[in-house]
Structure 1
Amino acid sequence: MARGNNRQSLFQDQAAFQYFLDRLASMKELYPTKIFHYCLMSNHIHLLVQAIEGPNLSKFMHGLLWGFARWFQRRSSYIGHVWQGRYKNPFIADELYFMEVGRYIERNPLRAGLVTQLEQYPWSSYGYYAHGAKDPLVDEDPYYEHVGSTSARRQSAYREFISLAGAHDEKLDQDLFGGRLR
C-alpha cells in the first residue's frame, strides 16, 4: 500500500489511472514480479505482489512509485513529495491471510462508497477473479484454483467470498495499516 502525500488525490482522471497501470506493467516486466491483486484509489494504491527474485520487490516498487511521481509532478506542475512515506510491505504468512488481504484490497472501492457494486469499478483486479475478465497484469492468486473445480464455479465462489467481507475489514485495516487507511 502506498498513499498520496497528505492524502492528496493522485488519480484525478482516467489518464492518470491508465498511466499508473502502464507503469505497473513496465515494472513487472523489468523486475519480474507477480501481481496477484491490485486496486487503485484516488489517493492510494493497494498491491498484493511477490518478487520472483530476491531484491526485485524494492526495485519494482521504487521504479513504480518514483516513475509515477515524476510523471505526476510534470503533468500537474506539482513540487514536493507525491507519496506519503515508504510503501507498506506487511508479511503474509498463510493461505487464509493471503486470501483475506486480496479480498480487502478488492473491496476498497465499496468500503469507500465509490460504487455500490464492485463490477462498477474498473481500476482493480476484481473483474479477473469474479468474472474471468482478461487482465494482463494479474498473475492468478495461487489459492484461487481451490475455490472451485471450473472457471464458472471459481468465479461464483469468489463473488460470494468477496460479498461476505466486512467483519474482517476493520481488523485488516488495523493489522496491515495501523488503522490509518482512510
Structure 2
Amino acid sequence: MKLEKLEQDCYYHIYNRGINGGPIFRSDENKRYFLRLIKKHLSDKVSILAYCLMDNHYHMAIQVIQEEQKVTQSFSNLFNAYAKAYNKMHNRTGSLFEKHFKRIKIQDTKYLRNLIIYINTNPEYHGVNNDYKKFEYSSYQTTIVDSNDAVLMPIAKEEVINLFEDIENFEYLHQQKMNLNLDLNALDLD
C-alpha cells in the first residue's frame, strides 16, 4: 500500500491500531502520556480538529501546517517514543502499532464534518461508552467547553466550530450522528 503524502495545508484522517488488533493503551496514564507526546511532537506541525483514543486504536483529523518531511518525521518520533515507553512500562518487546500509520486525504468539507463526528462518537460506535459526550479521551468536550482549562489536548476549536457554522449545530449534528458517508469497513479497526 502506497502511503499518502502529508501535503501542507491539506486535511487528513490519521489512524492506526495495535499490532494484531491488540491494545495500545492499557490505562488512563497511557492515554495521557500519548496526548502529551502529541503536544510535544506535533503542536507546531499540524492543527488537530478531532481525536479519539480507544484501547486498541486511535483517530485524528488534522490539517498539516508544516512541510511534509517535518510532519512525517514528527509523527514517526511520536509513535516511536510512545511505543518505547509503553514497551518498557508493560515489560514487552516488539512492534506496538501496525506497520505504518494510515492517512486519508480529506477532499471536501462534508466528509471532514462527517469524519469529526465519527471520531468524536467513536466510543459509542464501538460500545465502549454509551455516551460519547462523557468520554474523556476524545475532542468532543474540548470543542464544546468555553475554556481550555484542564484540557488534555488543545484543538483548533474555532476552525471546528466554523466548519459546523456554530456550536449549537456542532452539538445537534453529533446528536443526529449525521448520515456518515465514511467507508467504515476500509478503516478495518474492529
Q: TM-score, normalised by structure 1?
A: 0.85
**Alpha-carbon distance in structure 2 between the residues aligned to 1:142 and 1:9:** 32
* SS in structure 2 at match of 1:89: strand
1:159 aligns with 2:171: yes
**Other-structure match for 1:151:** none
1:111 aligns with 2:119: no
The 5-angstrom pairing of residues 30-45 of structure 1 reads: 31-45=44-58
**Alpha-carbon distance in structure 1 between the residues aligned to 2:127 and 2:178:** 13
Query: Runs in 1 of length 4+ with deviation above 6 angstroms?
Result: none
Identity between Structure 1 and Structure 2 (%)? 19
Contact 1:39/1:123 (CA < 8 Å) preserved in 2?
yes
Cα 1:47–1:141 shift into 2, 3 Å: farther
1:181 aligns with 2:189: yes
Over residues 101-131 of structure 1, what are the superposed CA-to-partner deviations in whole Å (9 max), with x where a residue is unaligned?
A: 1111111001111112122200010012234
For these two proteins, the number of residue pairs brought into alignment is 172
**Other-structure match for 1:18:** 32
Cα 1:86–1:19 shift into 2, 3 Å: same
**Alpha-carbon distance in structure 1 between the residues aligned to 2:93 and 2:163:** 47
The 5-angstrom pairing of residues 8-157 of structure 1 reads: 8-29=22-43, 31-55=44-68, 56-132=70-146, 134=148, 135=151, 136-140=153-157, 142=159, 144-145=161-162, 147-148=164-165, 154-157=166-169
Gaps of 5+ in 1: 149-153
Comparing 155-164 with 117-126, which one deviates more in the overlay?
Answer: 155-164
**Alpha-carbon distance in structure 2 between the residues aligned to 1:34 and 1:105:** 15
**Alpha-carbon distance in structure 1 between the residues aligned to 2:72 and 2:34:** 17
> 2:52 corresponds to which letter in structure 1?
C
Contact 1:37/1:106 (CA < 8 Å) preserved in 2?
yes
Over residues 131-162 of structure 1, what are the superposed CA-to-partner deviations in whole Å (9 max), with x where a residue is unaligned?
A: 445245211363522534xxxxx332211111
More helix by share: 1
Q: TM-score, normalised by structure 2?
A: 0.82
Deviation of 1:168 after TM superposition, in Å, equals 1.7
* SS in structure 2 at match of 1:160: helix
Gaps of 5+ in 2: 1-14
